[in-house]
Each structure stands twice: as structure tokens, then as C-alpha cells.
A and B are shown apart, each in its own frame.
Chain A
């Protein structure tokens, strides 16, 4: 190498040989690949990739969904962010649908024969662009007849910091990269997942190393076997001064519609149509205090609702506005545990309301 202005290899050759480092490294890689191709070894290791996001809870949700779909027919899949995970209880939804004794105007028959099987596939903080990825993953293995997608203003907010964080994680998730083969990283990841045992097992081995080869400490899952995470606290029980803490979990208070999220919502609609799945959009209910977090609540909320309505109308998709319920039906502070998450009581109300509007597709 020619001598550059400040750089010299003069003393390099005498003491270190980077070539040997690389050779040893390649040997280790080859040994790893060889060992992991042996069934006797992999039989003693945990399941390899794909593990979504390396996040046990997300993988658990996917596992629960598969277990549910294997055991009975999946009629309704709820999707959305944490407000949906806490706000729609599949067990109560199914019960409400099964127990409906409402004469339908057209047929005059009772709808008591419907026995739906629903599952809550919502994932915390995910905006539509993230949900689109997961929906593709969900629909690889399960085939719901109806998808109910609950949204809040933060789903379409360009300045939602929680969504940014979770999208950053998702962007780097091998499964998401491999699914779309987006860019050179996606292309490479798809092939590594397919061809390299070491790549597929690297997270397992990494965690094995960090735990000294012992099994992981059991962790708690915050949702039940049907994906529902019910809260018990009541916003109504909190003094006004205590409520300020809830603003921190809403996301960024500066509101602006994100065109990319609206586009992702359109793609979700297209994806459902292509798969023959009935899609219903739900505008999730919010506590009155929620709006105080926006500098210009009326304008911001109107922008969100306009974008949501326009998207639904353009695709001829049903939009259930649960934020515009008559006062007698609308959730109160006793039904929320913070400004945008319903508690169990609120979830029971909303699930029943959704059940009342549900029409099973033919």
C-alpha cells in the first residue's frame, strides 16, 4: 500500500496479522454452521428464527393466534394498537354475538345461531404501516372471515414517538426485512434466513450465551390466550392532579397527519380485499381528557377523522365511529384506565357494541 499523507503500515506487519483474525473467524463460522446442521444438537436448543422482533410477547401472540386458529374457526380478528388490545375482549364479543336476540329487519330471524370465534391480534403502539407488516405475517397462516381494525388519532399522527420507536424496531426485524425483501438488507436477510443455520439460531445462541446455557427466566404475558389485555384501574377514581401522568403515554402531542400511514391503511384495505376478508374500521373511543393533550384539539381530531372517513369511503369500507356514540352508550371515565385505554368494564361495553353491529359475511 502506498504511503499516504499521514498513514503508515510501517510497524503493522511486525506485530499483528489481521488476516489470521479473519481466518480464525471464518473457521468458527464454518464450525458453527456444521454443528447447527446436526439434529442431535438443534434438538436441545430452543426454536430458532423467526422470532418476531426478538420480543417474546409478540411471538407469544402469534403462537396464541395459531393455537386458536388450529382449535376452532377464526371468524373475527381484531387488529390495532394497545387501545384495541385492551378495548375489545374476544370472549365477551363472542358471547354477545351468540346471545343476541335481535330480530333482523330483513329476515325476521334471530341471529342466535352465530357462534363466532374471535381473536385479538392487536400489538402495542403499532401504526398502520407496522400493522400492514404484521397482517401479512398473520395472513400467511390464518384465514379470518372478518378483520376489525381499531384506530385512534395517534395511528395517523406523523409525530407519534411511540410509533416511530416501534417502527424502528420493526424495520430492523429480520422477519419483516425478509418478508418484503426491501433493499439490499432485505434481500440478504431473506437468503440468510433460508440458507444459514447460524443466522437462524444466532438470537437463540446469543441469549444462551447471556444465560450461561440455562433456560430463560419465565416471563409474564400481559394478555390472555385470545390476545386480550384487560386493565382493572378506573380513570374515574383518580384525582384530576394525578391524571397528568397519562399524557406521557399518549405519544407526541404535536399532531400532523402522516401520509405514509394513510397510505398504509389503504394497503391494508387492499390486502384484505385481495384475500377476500371483510374489513371493518373502528374509530376507538377516547376519554374526554385525551383531547386536552392536543394544542388544537378540534382541528387535530377533525383532520384525523376526515382522513379516516375519506379512506374508508373511498374503498367502501364500513367505519364504526365509537367516539360518536349516543351518551347513553358512550364509555365514561369509569370505563377507561387512562385517557385512551378502556378497562375491563369498558372493553365489555365496546365488545358488546361491536357484536351488535357485526354481520357475519356469507
Chain B
């Protein structure tokens, strides 16, 4: 069940009606049942994986909480990580390793006949696996007590607004919200609805609408001029942002209607003045997860320049591989890792300094954006193209600067969707709030909301799955 379908809103409406009319004691059980039902719409068989992770991590955390011996605590943590990473590795990466092993053996002159697994990738497995792992790690680190109620913990793993594509919530944020009594007042309700509306606008009007222009360009780049290729990747940068940020808006809006606040996952990432800041604004829940559970445990920046660069590169390679079992994602992560190393090397030179003032388009920010956005665009080629060689081919054709006269027809097609994105992003950036619209004068606010509803209606019917569902 996708967030941009009538079925989802029917489902959400029924859930809200029951939720608002039940007592807090019953609400979590009801949300748990709703979440399992939500996941079952995709494939009920894979619920068993969620249940397995839930039971293992609940039990492991209890066991860690009952012992103070470091060796035993480590052993229990190892068990939890092995189970979670084992499931993720099997379903997501097994065929990738088999294909590469076969290619390596062929290269060495063998004639391998390795079996290929005929399995579907469980939706959201990367998201909920990282979420449940963060709980066990936090308990192991002694930063939180194990949860006593299995239902509360099960809901933490499979809470439907963020189950299949995040945000990857931290236990310190989501668990207390699930354990405490919730209230929803009118303003929360309206701001939740507004977030959903903004999410639908981003997804339906911008992201889905751009597919018609992007897909043919990435399907056969050799047929297009350099300006068209640049347009293709530019539009893809907008599309993936609006697709994923739109999803996150709908997830946060839906959850706010339930009185549960989810973390911000996107914060105008293309306004970042450098790549380091980009990662503080793009998929924040993943980048902070990688920082806290990979980069810092690897040593972070504590052991000299070389080790810092190594840690950055390893973290981003893992981040790339998290997105998918393909060399394109590895290359995508490696490029980001190299960019971050570059930032470290040039961090003392303006405009590459670490931070530009938030909420303001200062000279430093504008120049930084002009440098950062094209760098990010190059990485999106690897993210979108069907293979590594196709990515390089795409970049090669774009760099050939063929038929540059096509700019005259291409630039308006880039400008219009950019303006639609900025229509939402600039007010949010200036107002430092995703629901800044509610602070506007009433006639303007009412007109903008009606206009959003109107253009969403235009796009209804061009439905496509959220790109991040595949991860």
C-alpha cells in the first residue's frame, strides 16, 4: 500500500477513527495490528522476518540488561547483530555476491555454475533492520534501559508511518513517544494534514510528473545531446529529492495525526553550502545512524588525518551499499566519501568552510551551493543509471558537449520544476519550519492550500512507487 493511493488514505482514516476513540492502553495494540496489516498488503509472508527481528532483539536487550559482565553483553550484542545482518545480507546481498563471485571465477578462467536465489527483497528491510539494531546497541552501551513491554517494542520496529522507508528512528526518540500517553490538538492535526499535502505535492506533482522526461534519457543516453543529458540528471536530482522528501512528509504528517512526532529526514539538502552540510540535510536519519554506529566507532576523526579519511570513505561506502546491492551504489558512496575527504582537505578555504549561516542565502552559501549541487548531480548519475558502465557512458556523453544549441529548448524544462521545488523549499528554509505556511496571513494560506489541492488533483493518476521503497 503506497502513501499516494486512495487505499492508504482510507486505511489511515479508519486507523485514526479507531485510534481516537480507544483508550491509551489499547492504542498501541491497535497500532501494532494496523502496522502488521499495513505491511501485509505488500507480502504477509515477510512479516515473519519482522517478527523474528522483534523477538530476537527484545530478548537480547533483556539479556543484556540482566548482566553486567562485559563479555556476556558483547556476546548478546554479537548475536543480535549476526541475526539482523544475516537476514539483511541473505535477502539483499546474497545474489550480488554470487554474481560477483561467478564473474571473478570466470575472469580466472573457470566456468562456474553458481545457484541464484529466487527471492524478493522484503520492502523496508534496510530501514527496520537499522532501526532495531540501534536499539540493541543503545541498550548495550547503557544509554537506555531495555523495554519491558513486548508490544511497545514490536510497535517501535513496525510503526506503519515509517516502516517501509523511514525515517530510521532512534529508540530514545520513538520509544518514549510510543510508551507515553499522547494528545492531539487541532493545530497538530492541521499541521499533520499540511505535511501530508506538501508530501503529496512533492511526490505526485513533481517527482511522478518528471518521470516522463527522465526515464527515456537514462534508458538510452547515446541518443541525446549533452544539454539533454544534463537536464536528465538535473531533473532526477529534483525527482529523487521530491520523491523521498515527499514520502517523509507524508510519514511525519500521518504520525503527527496520531500524536507521535517523527524526526526530520530532509531539511532543504540542495541549499547545502558543501557536501558535509548536504549530509546534515539529506536523509538525516541514515546519515546520523552511520555517524553514530559506524563512523565514530571506527575512530571518527580522533586518530589523525589518514584514519579520518579512511573512516569517512568506509562509512560512505557502507552508506552506498545500504542503498542497494550494486556497484553503482558503491561508486555513489565512494564519490561522496571522496567529496567529504575533499572538504576536510579544503575546509579552511572559503567557501568550503564547514557551516554557512542557516536560514539565510549568504554569499558563502550561494557560492557553496553553486559548487556543491553539480557535485551531487554527478553522484546521482551512478544512483540512477542501470549499471556502472552505463553511468560512465552517460557522464562521457554529457562531457562531450554535443549539440550545445539544445540549451535553448532544455533550460525552460529545467527551470519550471526547479521553481516548483523552490516554492516549497525557500519558505521552509527561511522560516526554519516545514509547516511555515500555517504562520502566513490567512487569505494567502488558504489560497496556497487550495492551489496545492488543485495541482495535486492534476497529477493524480501518474502514480509510481516511491523510489526509496526498493531499499
Residues of A within 8 A of B (CB): 4-13, 15-18, 20-25, 27-29, 32, 54-57, 159, 172, 174, 202-203, 205-207, 209-214, 216-220, 222, 240-241, 244-245, 252-254, 295
| CB of A291, distance to nearest CB on chain B (Å) | 13
Give every chain B residue within 8 A of A205 (Cβ-Cβ). 458
| Residue contacts A-B, CB under 8 angstroms, 5 given | A15-B186, A24-B450, A25-B453, A210-B206, A214-B409
Q: Which residue of B lies closest to A204 (CB)?
A: B458
Q: Among A174, A245, A252, find the residue whose CB has the most chain B CB atoms closer than 10 A.
A: A245
Interface presence of B116 (CB below 8 A): yes
B412: chain A residues within 8 A (beta carbon):
211-212, 214
Of the candidates A8, A29, A203, the one whose C-beta lies within 8 Å of that of B461 is A203
Interface positions of B from 87 to 135, Cβ below 8 Å from A: 99, 102-103, 106-107, 115-116, 118
User: For the complex, is B79 an interface residue (Cβ under 8 Å from A)?
Assistant: no
| A residues near B115, Cβ cutoff 8 Å | 295
**Contact (Cβ within 8 A) B106 A5:** no
* Given known A7-B20, A25-B454, contact A206–B459 (CB-CB < 8 A): yes
A7 to B379, CA, bound (A): 45
In the complex, what's the smallest C-beta–C-beta distance from B251 to chain A, in angstroms?
Answer: 20
Given that A21-B446, A56-B212, A220-B220 are contacting pairs, would A206 and B458 also be in contact in the complex, using a CB cutoff of 8 Å?
yes
Neighbour of B183 across the interface among A6, A20, A54, A240, CB < 8 A: A6
Docked-complex contact B451 and A253, CB < 8 angstroms: no
One of B189, B224, B416 near A210 (C-beta < 8 A): B416
Instruction: Tell yes or no: B347 within 8 A of A by CB.
Output: no
Determine whether B23 belongs to the interface, using a CB cutoff of 8 Å to chain A. yes
Assembled-state Cα–Cα distance A218/B231 (Å): 13
User: In the complex, what's the smallest C-beta–C-beta distance from A249 to chain B, in angstroms?
Assistant: 10
Contacts of B447 in A (CB 8 A): 24
User: B residues near A, CB below 8 A?
Assistant: 19-24, 27, 99, 102-103, 106-107, 115-116, 118, 181-187, 189-190, 193, 205-206, 209-210, 212-213, 216, 220, 223-224, 228, 231, 259, 387, 409-410, 412-413, 415-417, 419-420, 438, 442, 446-447, 449-451, 453-455, 457-463
Residues of B within 8 A of A245 (CB): 387
Q: Across the two chains, which residue of chain B brings its CB closest to A177?
A: B461
Q: Which 8 A-B residue pairings sit nearest by Cβ, starting from the closest?
A: A12-B186, A212-B416, A24-B450, A254-B118, A25-B450, A4-B20, A7-B20, A202-B458
Q: How far is the CA of A284 from the CA of B287 in the complex (A)?
A: 49
Q: For the complex formed, measure the closest distance between the CB of A47 and the CB atoms of chain B, giving whole angstroms.
A: 15
Whether B461 contacts A5 by the Cβ 8 Å rule is: no
Residues of B within 8 A of A172 (CB): 461, 463
CB-contact partner of A209 in B19, B103, B387, B416, under 8 A: B416
How far is the CB of B440 from the nearest CB of chain A, in Å? 11
Which chain A residues lie closer than 8 Å to B182 at the CB level?
6
Knowing A29-B454, A211-B416, A217-B409, the reply to whether A6 touches B205 (Cβ < 8 A) is: no
CB distance from A116 to the nearest CB of B (A): 31
